Amino acid sequence: MLIKVCEESSSVNGLAETVSVPKELLKDLYTELVKVEEVLATLEELMDKEGLERIHRAEQEYAKGEYVTVKDGSEIKEIIK
């Protein structure tokens, strides 16, 4: 399946204003964009002093076994109460 991206303006220098893009390519581009966003969010967190401190605290808590595992989101609500 192809998706056509169109602009309403007339063609310039004989170039077409319509481009066909395979749906699978758009899906792949979106998937990879999500991965890039995750990397950027991680870098942003590492550049933030408070964020880095949160990461270090979490690592220490994990090493000490100070964490709880849950099966689903409803259990999180119970723990927070």
Domain that holds residue 69: 24-80
pLDDT score for 70: 86
Q: Is residue 16 part of a domain?
A: no
CB 16 within 8 Å of CB 22 = no
* Domains of the chain: total: 1
Q: Is residue 39 part of a domain?
A: yes
Can you tell me the distance from the alpha carbon of 26 to that of 78, in angstroms, rounded to the nearest whole number?
40
Structure tokens at 14: 């004989």
Sequence length of the chain is 81
Can you tell me the distance from the alpha carbon of 48 to that of 34, in angstroms, rounded to the nearest whole number?
21
- Cα R_g (the chain), whole angstroms: 23
pLDDT score for 12: 57
Structure tokens at 16: 């077409």
Average pLDDT in the 11-22 region? 74
pLDDT tens digits, 17-52: 788 889 999 999 999 999 999 999 989 988 899 988
pLDDT score for 10: 52
Q: Is residue 46 part of a domain?
A: yes
